[in-house]
Structure 1
């Protein structure tokens, strides 16, 4: 049914236009540029921003829509993937049917259009995860391994592009905020305290852990709470939350039936000249070396898959303690989006250290897939 819907809903001319726009070159922006440009949200700047997005978003969305048609192993035909492709085609059509942006009235209307696009794409990650699960259920694991690298590379490009699209839309929409808090430029906080963001992420992760297991190990944070640098707090929160959630689960499960107290998780924040590094250490038993290769792939999770248990999770916003095995690879993409990285080092039968590197320079261009 879904395949048929795609053909009926979208005209041949729209599909041709998507393919045409999918060949255009994307334009990357840096954190520093977004910060400098957004620090003066005058009408003129908002107009320039909307005109840039009118073209740039169409290119980025078209490129992904084209890729969604050409996935190996028939992944393109899975119902969940067809649903995502429909969202991308709808969004491309919405942007292209908006004529030129000439004045602030146009700008205001266009901002509403892209705000709606961002909401439409809210569930892209769980829905794509569902598509991959549908694929895993249907095909021989031997076949999947051959095309696995290609699927993984596609998902890396796809999710990295999604981070960029959401950042550009969110940044533009936030610049309309009538009374932004001090030091906030759109999504960017020019004086973000990594210790404070880590504290909030830890609180969120521990409350989920307590809900699931009835208790949560302690987390100790070391670092200067007064140290700040420009970054996107929402991105950092997501990354620290994912890493701490993994550590809490590992420690909780390792000490569940033990009479010993679970050892605390330690977070250390260090500010270097180039990078701010956040190290998250646990004594949750570690990961065997053979498993380390798999932790950044999209077809692997040590946890039970929530999509098997609740087939409708693909449309909800439920946060489970562990899920599609997407937390680590997506966190690494968020780190890399602004020139950082994420590394995991493990000692089997002891614990794991995660090193989250965040670039301080703010000059690196978006890595455009």
Structure 2
């Protein structure tokens, strides 16, 4: 314990030293911008629900698009400023890491552009504002991997002196930061999508009003098995149980992301356990259950499970069983987006971020493991769509 406290003191000193080396906001941006950021960070964020997005976007007439733009014009700077204020004051010197500074500056630039944009009054203003949103959306595409690289750098520095379980404040920050990012991209993506002709029938922006859980799960399974085949040379079978005709309103890309991650983990575990066996690997079972309040998706495998002592590590951002991508790539590069079925193996982000996606619309994700046998993952999705965003 004494060594941990000593290390924390040393890192606090590093943070102070970093502050004196020109990495603070005030060293790179005007006093006016910095004051505006911290003033906005004192304002309360306004959460919305899936049902609200559905009702609002059901008839995207000109007046509603203007109202949506006006809401985002006021709301997005508040959300961005909250994150900038946090990024400026992280413990253990994390704020001074180059990748974290890059992310912070992206948020500041987007904040400045939104604050300098005049009030949206008519359709012409709304169209120009939407173009700005498209620009901001693209700018923030790589936030997850770039932030992951900054955290990985901190992990390397601390690995010999502090265990990952000794950094609850870092985990709490990352949970809030990534949850906020999901919300920001959902709001921006939804507004942009309302401008576009529906790619598929029954879509209101990014939301499929008749999303088939079984159908999305099958797509995610196909993608996960394809990757497993490419990387491992084989892929266990996955059997889906559930009514393919059942539908409910949801964001298919979110569901795909979560199921893809769960199935990918199960495929890897089962393949590795039975790789040298003469027996055929048992199939992974995916069950879709319809409840009155929740849709529950269970992914069951016989991949050997993990010890109970290892379960807490599954939800941290500083633990992974895969090889770190930092071992194979230049640290200044990060090209992995995180809005589709992203593969972040090696960062240790798959499960914790999937749980955030589930919780964003009022669901949850839990893992139950039987060491020596296998693992069951339970993905709960709120069917009613009436839960507001859990804003950090």
**TM-score range for the pair, normalised by the shorter chain length:** over 0.9
Equivalent of residue 201 in structure 1, options 220, 228, 236: 220
Residue 329 (structure 1) aligned with residue 352 (structure 2)? yes
CA shift in 2, pair 1:133/1:26, >3 Å: same
SS in 2 for 1:310: coil
SS in 1 for 2:289: strand
Q: Which residue of 2 aligns with 1:107?
A: 126
Q: Which residue of 2 aligns with 1:298?
A: 317
Q: Which residue of 1 aligns with 2:90?
A: 71
Q: Which residue of 1 aligns with 2:156?
A: 137
Structure 1 residues without counterparts, runs of 5 or longer: none
Shift, 1:255, TM fit: 1.3
**Is the 1:123–1:314 Cα contact (8 Å) retained in structure 2?**
no
- Distance, in Å, in 2 between the alignment partners of 1:313 and 1:77 is 15
Residue 350 (structure 1) aligned with residue 369 (structure 2)? no
Q: Which residue of 2 aligns with 1:192?
A: 211
Q: Which residue of 2 aligns with 1:276?
A: 295
Moved more, 174-183 or 142-151: 142-151
CA shift in 2, pair 1:78/1:350, >3 Å: same
SS in 2 for 1:114: helix
Q: Which residue of 2 aligns with 1:311?
A: 330
- Distance, in Å, in 1 between the alignment partners of 2:95 and 2:51 is 37
Alignment of 1:47-196 (within 5 A): 47-139=66-158, 141-143=160-162, 145=164, 148-179=167-198, 181-196=200-215
- Distance, in Å, in 2 between the alignment partners of 1:22 and 1:147 is 28
Shift, 1:308, TM fit: 2.5
Residue 25 (structure 1) aligned with residue 44 (structure 2)? yes
Shift, 1:147, TM fit: 5.5
CA shift in 2, pair 1:7/1:133, >3 Å: same
Residue 35 (structure 1) aligned with residue 54 (structure 2)? yes
Shift, 1:222, TM fit: 0.5
Once the two structures are superposed, residues 259-288 of structure 1 have per-residue CA deviations (whole angstroms, 9 ceiling, x without a partner) of: 211111110000000100000001111011
Once the two structures are superposed, residues 325-362 of structure 1 have per-residue CA deviations (whole angstroms, 9 ceiling, x without a partner) of: 10000000000000000010000011100000000010
SS in 2 for 1:73: coil
Q: How many residues align?
A: 369
- Distance, in Å, in 2 between the alignment partners of 1:109 and 1:147 is 47
RMSD: 1.8
CA shift in 2, pair 1:271/1:146, >3 Å: closer
Q: Which residue of 2 aligns with 1:363?
A: 386
Q: Which residue of 2 aligns with 1:233?
A: 252
Alignment of 1:259-274 (within 5 A): 259-274=278-293
- Distance, in Å, in 1 between the alignment partners of 2:43 and 2:54 is 26
CA shift in 2, pair 1:9/1:313, >3 Å: closer
- Distance, in Å, in 2 between the alignment partners of 1:290 and 1:131 is 27
**Is the 1:246–1:322 Cα contact (8 Å) retained in structure 2?**
no
- Distance, in Å, in 1 between the alignment partners of 2:346 and 2:207 is 28
For normalisation by structure 2, the TM-score amounts to 0.91
Shift, 1:322, TM fit: 2.5
CA shift in 2, pair 1:213/1:321, >3 Å: farther
Q: Which residue of 1 aligns with 2:267?
A: 248
Once the two structures are superposed, residues 245-267 of structure 1 have per-residue CA deviations (whole angstroms, 9 ceiling, x without a partner) of: 10011111111122211111110
Once the two structures are superposed, residues 17-40 of structure 1 have per-residue CA deviations (whole angstroms, 9 ceiling, x without a partner) of: 100001111111010000010001
Once the two structures are superposed, residues 173-223 of structure 1 have per-residue CA deviations (whole angstroms, 9 ceiling, x without a partner) of: 000013453211011111100000000000111111111011111111010
Shift, 1:320, TM fit: 4.6
**Is the 2:58–2:204 Cα contact (8 Å) retained in structure 1?**
yes
Shift, 1:117, TM fit: 0.8
Structure 2 residues without counterparts, runs of 5 or longer: 1-17
- Distance, in Å, in 2 between the alignment partners of 1:136 and 1:3 is 23
